[in-house]
Amino acid sequence: MSRTARDVVFVDGVRTPFGKSGKGLYAETRADDLIVRVIRELMRRNPGLPPERVDEVAIAATTQIGDQGLTLGRTAAILAGLPRSVPGYSIDRMCAGALTAATTAGAGISFGAYDVVIAGGVEHMGRHPMGEGVDPNPRIISEKLVDPSALVMGNTAENLHDRYPTITKERADAYAVRSQEKVAKAYADGKIQPDLVETLVRSAEKGFGLATQDEPPRPGTTMESLAGLKTPFRAHGNVTPGNAAGLNDGATGTLLMAEEVAEELGLDAKMRLVDFSFTGVEPEVMGVGPVPATEKLLARQGIGMDDIGLIEINEAFAVQVLAFLEHFGIADDDARVNPWGGAIAIGHPLASSGGRLMMQLARQFAERPDVRYGITTMCVGLGMGGTILWENTNYEGGK
């Protein structure tokens, strides 16, 4: 009898371009076909990995019905052509689904139960709006366990503005403009494209085509263009479609394995999983979740925010990011934060977004051997936050 603890590394990641929900890129494409495309591409890009060496497929979705249901990790593995011996399962932690897939499956690697896992997420908000088919227990409201606003994410963002009165609409809009600008520059510099896989799309009207780049970005966004947008969650409020992520469709997948297995297979370990933390907060201000999750993780590791050289934080709402930055004394335009922009521009297909954060951090690590540590962090619906601490395997010293 023996127990083991092994280092877990991120080897590769790939995602579909993100689409706009409704009449966007994937209006007539199944959600499970999106994640199947991602799994197949991960295997294609890593020919040194025998398919039978994959020990688990963990796939997250927030709305687990229809083509996002039926134990998605297992069905997607079968559809992607992995051996029948490869098991799979589904995960739901709302927006942090892919993060949780990585930490759950990664913990299995560290424990010695797995050598290689595929962890990812998919969300087709056009086919399955968040909350479709759910039946919240009436006691949640009748017994005042949470405020009714906790069930509407936009309302929780307005509540967060109340908690942080220094975060004005203008400040949130300015952050949103920078996100759009950074994504446009990252595309122009070819930073984002390596993570994308061309994805077949179908339209009864237009026929077949290929999705090759993200659909949501709005290059040229200005403060003036955002100023007049409506505030749908509160009259004369602060949250608008311009300073929040939209409703999106897309899938992400990551390849994680034990570090010695990556060496055995001749695969490049891009970053090392150091630690992770999930925590709960008041559901009415779910956007503050990354703050205690990150505090808990940093305290356990005995390091501070000054030790973190790169921060990939999901931009569900600008106010949620700004609350995190304000708490830790980080400037709104700190170069460590989302260097290539974020979800306000690229989109936020709920359970899949954590995979994008990991991919972008890994590529930034490759360009920054002077940076040792980075985090991927996000707020989570119903009042949670999640943070993963990663170490750069390319680290060559310095801060």
Catalytic residue numbers read 95, 348, 379
CA 374/CA 310 separation, integer angstroms: 5
In contact, 368 and 350? CB cutoff 8 Å:
no
> What DSSP character marks residue 192?
S
What is the separation of C-alpha 247 from the centre of its chain, rounded to a whole number of angstroms?
Answer: 14
CA 26/CA 203 separation, integer angstroms: 9
CA 70/CA 59 separation, integer angstroms: 11
Where does residue 204 rank: exposed (0-12), middle (13-18), buried (19+ CB within 10 A)?
A: exposed
Provide φ and ψ at 363, rounded to 5°.
-70, -35
In 3-state terms, what secondary structure has residue 41? Answer: helix
Residue closest to 343 by CA, chosen among 320, 315, 324, 319: 315
In 3-state terms, what secondary structure has residue 121? Answer: strand
Q: What is the DSSP string of 329-384?
A: T--TT-TTB-TT--HHHH---GGGHHHHHHHHHHHHHHH-TT--EEEEEEEETTTE
In 3-state terms, what secondary structure has residue 147? Answer: coil
In 3-state terms, what secondary structure has residue 385? Answer: strand
